[in-house]
Amino acid sequence: MPLLKEETRQQQSKLAEYCKTGIVPELNGIIEENLHHYRRLVFNIGIDTIETAYPITYRFLPDEIWDKLVYEFYAEHKCQTPQVWRMPLEFYDYCVEKDIQGKLNLPFLNDLLYFEWLELEMHTMEDIPYPSYDTKGDLLKNLLAINPEHKLVKFTYPVHVLAATELEGKEGNYFLLMYREKESGRIQFMDVSILYAYILEQIQNGLTLHAVLTDADSLFQINNFEMLKEHALVFINDLKQRQFILGFLNK
């Protein structure tokens, strides 16, 4: 037998539901004129958290659309994380699941929301241990050690490059490299081409730069290894200077 009686559980449930929807419930023995403070306090925490996480989307969407979206999210969705700062991810998942971008005819909305979430995620994500590496080695032949606190993301719209108002009709393949600087914790963003995204991904998969470039030369039908190598080394050296490429993996 549960210790809590059904009647008590229902009272608690009704109050919680009211905080989510704002639809006034029948509750016993309450101070009616004070009830609305709970809805206000709960809803404000929710709104603030979402608006702080998605400032670009918030400014971009007309107020009435934004307000309706946030209202529906809070009323329909059951927030699962006990950590309120992680809740915006649930907002993103909700928008994807409900196909809000389809309903609003804004095909870049999911990308935009995800981009905004990633920025938060990169700032807060748990530390990942750095690999052990040497500072001297051969960029082509040795395995490269890269900053493990990074994400390489593909977007269909260049949400990381253009303002939200300029995204319409810009469908394509776009890649964003984000990484967290070790000392400062600052997040760096870098727009990369599909070729360089491929190179980074393969390096991450444990190939030497030489092997990656050999593959890429035919895969991308470049058929000019020396030229590819020259360009790739400029890119890789730049990443080394930025300390995204840390050095050479110790065996």
User: Closest distance between another protein and the C-beta of residue 212, in Å?
Assistant: 29
Q: Which residue has the tokens 């991810």?
A: 89
Tell me the three-class secondary structure of 7-57, residue by residue.
HHHHHHHHHHHHHHHCCCCCCCCCCHHHHHHHHHHHHHHHHHHHHHHCHHH
| Contacts of 68-76 spanning 24+ positions with Cβ under 8 A | 69/95, 69/100, 70/46, 71/22, 74/20, 74/21, 74/43, 74/46, 74/47, 75/20, 75/21, 75/22
Please give the residue ranges that form the binding site for another protein (CB under 8 A): 2-5, 7-9, 11-13, 15-17, 19-20, 27-32, 34-35, 37-38, 41-42, 45-46, 49, 77-85, 87, 122-128, 149, 180, 184-186
User: Closest distance between another protein and the C-beta of residue 86, in Å?
Assistant: 8
User: Closest distance between another protein and the C-beta of residue 5, in Å?
Assistant: 4
State the helix-helix crossing angle for 225-241 and 209-219, rounded to 10 degrees. 130
User: Closest distance between another protein and the C-beta of residue 101, in Å?
Assistant: 25
User: Closest distance between another protein and the C-beta of residue 7, in Å?
Assistant: 8
Closest CA to 67 of 86, 53, 51, 88: 51
Under DSSP, is residue 241 helix (H, G, I), strand (E, B) or coil? helix
